[in-house]
Amino acid sequence: MSVITYGEAIRQAYREEMRRDPNVFLMGEDVGRWGSLYRSSKGLLDEFGPEQIKDAPISEAAIAGCGVGSALMGMRPIVEIMYIDFITIAMDQIVNHAAKWHQLSNGKVKLPMVFKTQGGAGRRNSSQHSQSLENWFVGIPGLIVVMPSTPYDVKGLLKSAVRDDNPVVFIEHKSLYFDKGEVPESEYLIPLGQADVKRTGEDVTIVATSWMVGFALKAAERLAGDGISCEVIDPRTLWPLDKETIIRSVKKTGLCLVVTEAPAEGGWSGEASSVIHERCFGDLKQPVKRHCGLRTGIPYGPVLERQVVPSKDSIVEAVQELVTRGALIAV
């Protein structure tokens, strides 16, 4: 094992996949000269050249469509959309074409492509550069949606996403690029659609995504000091959802908190919560509680932006409330 950053893990995944298959290429704004906004492709232009590392103009619709067309022809594009907020310009290609063509061709056309982007708050970028828009993609049949939270996960999942023949929306988090974690020296893959139990526990299940996973783990550590044992599950892939891992945990604990940075309304957190209610109703001591970002644009500046999305402290409070209510009913 070596300890590397999330950004370096992405770079390793690129390097390994591009060496393995010359049809794999990265295309996007400033992926070459800059090596990407958060440097996840730094140095790769020199190593792989402009055919595999393609700087593209600020034309998200064209970049996304270029990905669709090249995937149709057997290439394996990784289309980088610099901020998920800019994916609005590319939505037509993703929703109306990438997600539809396999089905419209009766399975003959495959579009092995990754729409790779990053979202979320934490870097003081305000409301047009900090959104959590993953919910949109979960609602579109034909797309796989991945949100990795650690260096180990981002590498293994990105490699799987590149090798998968479906269009994959791969959403990194801007506040995670400089986080460090252990990654094996040898090559590995993490299958899409498989959750990971990040911490085992007995009293409460916390299902958290992306940046929220780290806060959930810190909250679990704090709560352990108060005698509350939390199991933390990262679904890693939002669709298809690994329901079994979550259900197994909730059947054991009987209490569940779902934590997302995206607002709760109309979101994946509601989908996850519904699945748990449908499958674990008899085991639940309390209804599933959702703890999500507020329904607001992300405000500017370091103080307010942290107040509108869950934090370690707010997760601790939410779990305490859930446990207290659960205990009252049990009495």
Partner 1 sequence: MSETRLQELYEEMLLLRHFDQLSMRLKLKDLIYSGYHPYEGQEAVAVGFCGALEKGDVLLSTHRPHCHAVAKGCTLEAVLTEMMGRVTGCSGGLGGGMQYLDPDHDFYCGSIVGSNLPIATGIGLAIKQQGLDRVCMCLFGDGASNTGSFHEALNLAAIWKLPIVFVCENNQFAEAMPAREFVACERISMRARGYGLEEITVDGNDVEQTRRVASELIERTRRAEGPFLVEALTYRLRGHYVGDPEKTYRAREEVDVWRQKEPLTRARKKLLQEGVDATELDAMEQAIEDKLETLREWALQQAFPTLEQATDHVYIPLAKGESTCQ
As measured in angstroms, the least distance from the Cβ of 60 to partner 1 is 8
129 catalytic residue (yes or no) = yes
Among 86, 122, 179, 193, contact with partner 1 (rule: CB under 8 A): 193
Among 19, 49, 180, 188, contact with partner 1 (rule: CB under 8 A): 188
Binding marks (x or -) toward partner 1, 242..281, rule CB under 8 A?
----------------------------------------
CB 320 within 8 A of CB 286: no
Sign of CA dihedral 134, 157, 13, 184: positive
Give one word for 326, left, alpha or beta, with left for phi > 0 and alpha for psi -120 to 50.
alpha
Among 67, 119, 254, 263, contact with partner 1 (rule: CB under 8 A): 67
- The rounded distance, in Å, linking the Cα atoms of 148 and 2 is 19
What tokens appear for 66 in the block? Answer: 């270029």
Beta bridge partners of 292: 260
Count, residues near partner 1 per rule CB under 8 A: 58
Q: List binders of partner 1 among 149-168 (CB under 8 A).
A: 156, 159-160, 163-166
Quick one: 22 or 266, whose CB is closer to partner 1?
22
- The rounded distance, in Å, linking the Cα atoms of 12 and 42 is 11
Among 1, 109, 327, 328, contact with partner 1 (rule: CB under 8 A): 109
Find, among 266, 263, 260, the residue nearest to 233 by Cα.
Answer: 260
DSSP string, 240-273: S--HHHHHHHHHHHS-EEEEEEEESTTSHHHHHH
Instruction: Fill in the amino acid letter for 242.
Output: D
As measured in angstroms, the least distance from the Cβ of 242 to partner 1 is 11
Quick one: 138 or 308, whose CB is closer to partner 1?
138
Among 33, 186, 227, 329, contact with partner 1 (rule: CB under 8 A): 186
As measured in angstroms, the least distance from the Cβ of 155 to partner 1 is 11
As measured in angstroms, the least distance from the Cβ of 236 to partner 1 is 11
Pairing label, strands 144-146, 180-183: unpaired
| 3-class secondary-structure state, position 190 | coil
- The rounded distance, in Å, linking the Cα atoms of 192 and 70 is 23
Please report, as ranges, the residues that interact with partner 1 according to CB under 8 A.
51, 56-57, 59-75, 77, 89, 92-93, 96-97, 100-110, 141-144, 156, 159-160, 163-166, 186-194, 240
